[in-house]
Structure 1
Amino acid sequence: MGLRENVKSLDELKRNIYSWILPFIVFTLFLNTILQNSCMTTLSGIVNISLIVWFSISWVLVRAKQSFRFTEISNLILISIYHIIKFSEVLFVGVLVRGQESLGDFIIWMPLYILYIFLTLKRRQGLFLSLMVLLVTFIVGMTLFREITTDVKDSLIQFYAAHFVYTLVLFYIHYLFTIHTELNLVRKQSQIDSLTGIFNRQHMDELLAEKLMQRPKENKPLSVIFLDIDHFKCINDRFGHDMGDWVLKEFTRVISARLTDTEFFGRWGGEEFVIITDSGLAEAGVLAERLRVIIEQHTFQSAGKVTCSFGVSSYQNGDDALSLIKRADEGLYLSKTRGRNQVLIN
């Protein structure tokens, strides 16, 4: 899976999360507005109603898979504004007017807000926005610092410290996640054949070695199938190498669609491929014959009809990777010399 596919998967995951969590947020805001009896008579009520309307629209857009990035950024901007307004309201109204001795319940949501920043933005952008919001709330708090009680000052200092610590922690978590994703992508790419998108020879060697090591414990049968496209050089000579590449890709898709999760398919080199399967010799031979017929009956784009030769071997006592591969390769060679488009079990 490439970087673009990773991004698409992450967006799809976030879309699914938003589709479930937005109705809950709308309900919570609605309940908060009703319980505080604020509606459109206070700034907090106006902000709550505005968020309810916009989050409802956002939910529709998310479900319709429309303007996802715009929705995400818009929500972040509105939540940031809400965060600052709510903080200011707590200080100016809750503390100064009503005499509250703490910042109240709204600070419970602060870690989730910072998490949302780093989920939505790139690492440095998230750091910048989070610190800017911290700076704004710090300026607001400092304007009232002399007028508030010691308990509120303590609560305020803890709020700033927590915001700063959460920002740093999430910044480095984001960094570590990015590094992990990139390393995982590099590892996967090192296992994949760049043309066909299936496993390359190096990874098939590793899989076979792993299967042979596990076999004494699991006592499962193990077979190797070599397959080679017949007269592939003629396809390249007649239609060109680009068409030859298309044949390899189409061949890969046709074969892959007929294999199970326990049948590993890779490109050995050129037009030669290999299948590793947890099957006995007879069962592997049946699989090879079924694939041979499928390829024979398939019409390839522009190249028309193509056939394929197969060599099959199964694990015998004392086998290692080289001996197992050698017998399958010898079977493939005999299949070629005896007329091609056939399966030879060795």
Structure 2
Amino acid sequence: MGSDQKQFEEQKRRVYLFVLPIIAASLALNLLITEDIRLVQLIKFVLLIAIIGCWGLLWTRWPLIVAEILILGVSLVYLLAAILSSLFVHMLEQGQLQLGNFILYVPFIVVLSFLILERKQAVMACFTLLLLMIAPAIPVWGSLASSQVHSLITLYVSLFVYTFLAYFLHILYRRRAEQRAIARFAYIDALTGAANRYRIDEWLAEKVEKADREGTDFSIILFDMDHFKRVNDEHGHKTGDDVLRQMADLVRSELGPGDLFGRWGGEEFIIITNEEIPGAMELAERLREAIGSHDFGKAGNVTASFGVAGELPGDTPERLLNRADERMYHSKRTGRNRVTGETAAE
């Protein structure tokens, strides 16, 4: 299961945990104050127990689909029993002009169907429910009063409209999810989850433009893993990839809320921070120590060399990157595992 799907499942679980107690309380109150035929009352009671049981399953982290199918199945049985009771007992025998408050569960069942099933399956389930609700009314249609007919038609039209809306909302959600996925692949490095070079170029252009317009300061930190080729040669590319992932996670844990982080290419990474040179140097030194003291598992200890450059008036992204790159390679030439903010040549 992908991370997006897991996140969606977790969101659904939280919604169910919040909503189910409200539905259970409403149903319990309905059981206490509403008189109905024994079968419908029994089904209501079973539905109440099922809702409480499903809440327990969700709370104890049972698979979500188990609770969803149980709730959907019992709700469908209750809805069909309720409409039969309303039609043949309350309307035909007792002369009641309106359907009962069970119709409030119709949108819940439609939404639940689209949450659990694939789109086409959900549509088929909803229209099957519609047919099952229409069928018992056909033989007695002529015996119903006009207000009773109107109440039934309102129910049928409502179910159709709810299904129609859920169908197109489902399409809209899927398309937005696809757009988010496309945007993520366009901007995110698949291995480390950091921003890719394309996204970094956009960030730098935006930062330089803002600095020219508003006079704001920022710095960049460019760093490269030391002897990374040796890690790949001695331990394999799988271990090398794992080192890069761990390193990216480690760096992210040290960054502030306004810091931007990306993979510049290979084992080279970049940070864009709102700090001026002194603050950026402190951040780079903190990262150097964190990386150097971290146990990367099979690869052991790994170090990195850093170059720090602050934005200057009239700078371009290229000039800023060149300064940081020169300082990073100065760190490499002078022993590695160090931070350079300004070289003697500058």
Give me the TM-score of the superposition, normalised by structure 1: 0.93
Following the alignment from structure 2 to structure 1, what is the Cα–Cα distance between the partners of residues 85 and 106?
15
Q: Which of 295, 300, 316 is the aligned partner of 1:299? A: 295
Following the alignment from structure 1 to structure 2, what is the Cα–Cα distance between the partners of residues 30 and 204?
56
Q: Which of 173, 177, 180 is the aligned partner of 2:169? A: 173
2:24 aligned with 1:26: yes
SS at match of 1:311: strand
Q: Which of 52, 58, 77 is the aligned partner of 2:54? A: 58
1:151 alignment counterpart: 147
Contact 2:28 2:48 in 1 (8 A): yes
2:117 aligned with 1:121: yes
Identity %: 36
Following the alignment from structure 1 to structure 2, what is the Cα–Cα distance between the partners of residues 219 and 145?
77
Measure how far apart 1:305 and its partner are.
2.5
Following the alignment from structure 1 to structure 2, what is the Cα–Cα distance between the partners of residues 218 and 126?
53
Contact 2:50 2:70 in 1 (8 A): no
SS at match of 1:305: coil
Unaligned runs of 5+ in 2: none
* RMSD between aligned residues: 1.7
Following the alignment from structure 2 to structure 1, what is the Cα–Cα distance between the partners of residues 45 and 19?
18
One-letter identity of the residue aligned with 2:163: T
1:309 alignment counterpart: 305
SS at match of 2:95: coil
Deviates most, 327-336 or 293-302: 293-302
Following the alignment from structure 2 to structure 1, what is the Cα–Cα distance between the partners of residues 24 and 293?
57
1:70 alignment counterpart: 66
Following the alignment from structure 2 to structure 1, what is the Cα–Cα distance between the partners of residues 80 and 203?
55
SS at match of 1:268: strand
Contact 2:221 2:271 in 1 (8 A): yes
Following the alignment from structure 1 to structure 2, what is the Cα–Cα distance between the partners of residues 202 and 144?
68
One-letter identity of the residue aligned with 1:63: W
Distance verdict in 2 for CA 1:217–1:87, change over 3 Å: farther
Give me the TM-score of the superposition, normalised by structure 2: 0.93
1:110 alignment counterpart: 106
2:91 alignment counterpart: 95
List aligned pairs for 1:184-223, cutoff 5 A.
184-216=180-212, 219-223=215-219
One-letter identity of the residue aligned with 2:245: K
2:179 alignment counterpart: 183
Measure how far apart 1:218 and its partner are.
5.4
SS at match of 1:220: coil
Following the alignment from structure 2 to structure 1, what is the Cα–Cα distance between the partners of residues 327 and 206?
23
Measure how far apart 1:37 and its partner are.
4.4
Distance verdict in 2 for CA 1:282–1:168, change over 3 Å: same
Following the alignment from structure 2 to structure 1, what is the Cα–Cα distance between the partners of residues 213 and 31?
63
Deviates most, 104-113 or 75-84: 104-113
Following the alignment from structure 2 to structure 1, what is the Cα–Cα distance between the partners of residues 307 and 289?
15
SS at match of 2:254: coil
Unaligned runs of 5+ in 1: none
Deviates most, 175-184 or 148-157: 148-157
Distance verdict in 2 for CA 1:94–1:253, change over 3 Å: same
Following the alignment from structure 1 to structure 2, what is the Cα–Cα distance between the partners of residues 306 and 14?
41
1:4 alignment counterpart: 2
Following the alignment from structure 2 to structure 1, what is the Cα–Cα distance between the partners of residues 151 and 35?
27
SS at match of 1:97: coil
Following the alignment from structure 2 to structure 1, what is the Cα–Cα distance between the partners of residues 276 and 69?
56
Following the alignment from structure 1 to structure 2, what is the Cα–Cα distance between the partners of residues 219 and 86?
69
One-letter identity of the residue aligned with 2:315: D
Following the alignment from structure 2 to structure 1, what is the Cα–Cα distance between the partners of residues 266 and 199?
16
Following the alignment from structure 2 to structure 1, what is the Cα–Cα distance between the partners of residues 121 and 215?
54
Q: Which of 137, 140, 144 is the aligned partner of 1:141? A: 137
One-letter identity of the residue aligned with 2:164: L
Contact 2:308 2:327 in 1 (8 A): yes
Deviations 1:118-170 (A, max 9, x none): 12222111111100000111111212111111222222222212211221121
Aligned residue-pair number: 342
Measure how far apart 1:240 and its partner are.
2.5
Following the alignment from structure 2 to structure 1, what is the Cα–Cα distance between the partners of residues 198 and 298?
31
Following the alignment from structure 1 to structure 2, what is the Cα–Cα distance between the partners of residues 106 and 37?
13
1:327 alignment counterpart: 323
Deviations 1:281-319 (A, max 9, x none): 111011111211222222322222222111110111001
